[in-house]
A and B are shown apart, each in its own frame.
Chain A
Amino acid sequence: MARLTIDRAQKRFGSYLALDDVSLDVEDGEFLAVLGASGCGKTTLLRQIAGFDKLDGGTIRIGDRLVSSAETHIPPEHRKLGIVFQSYALWPHMTVAENVAYGLTVAGVRDPERARRVAAALDLVGLNGFAERRPGLLSGGQRQRVALARCLVTEPSLVLLDEPLANLDVHLRASMEDEFARFHERTGTTMVYITHDQAEAMALADRIAVMDRGRLLQLATPSALYREPANTTVASFIGEGMVLPAAVLSAPQAGRCRVSVLGVEAVVRCRPDQALSGQAKLCLRARDIGLAAADQAGVSAAVERLSYQGGFFRMEARPSAGADIVLHLDAAEPAPAQTGEAIRIAINDGWIIPDSDPLDKAA
Chain B
Amino acid sequence: MVNTKVSEVLDGSFLTYTFNLLRANVLRERKTMSLLLLQDNTENASVIQKVAVTLQQILREKDVLFKTEHTNEIGILLPHSGREESTGFLRRLQDSCECFLDPSQDRCLLASIIEVFHPELTLSNALMMCRDSLSKASETSGIQAVYADSGFERPVTMVKVSLLEADRLFRGFLVMAFERIHLPGIDLQIREFDDGLALFQSGWVNSWHPHLVVMSDVLPKKNGLDVLHELRAMPNEEKFTVLMMTRRNSEEDMIYAYESGTDAYLVKPFNLRLFEAQVKRMLAGIWS
- A, B assembled together: no
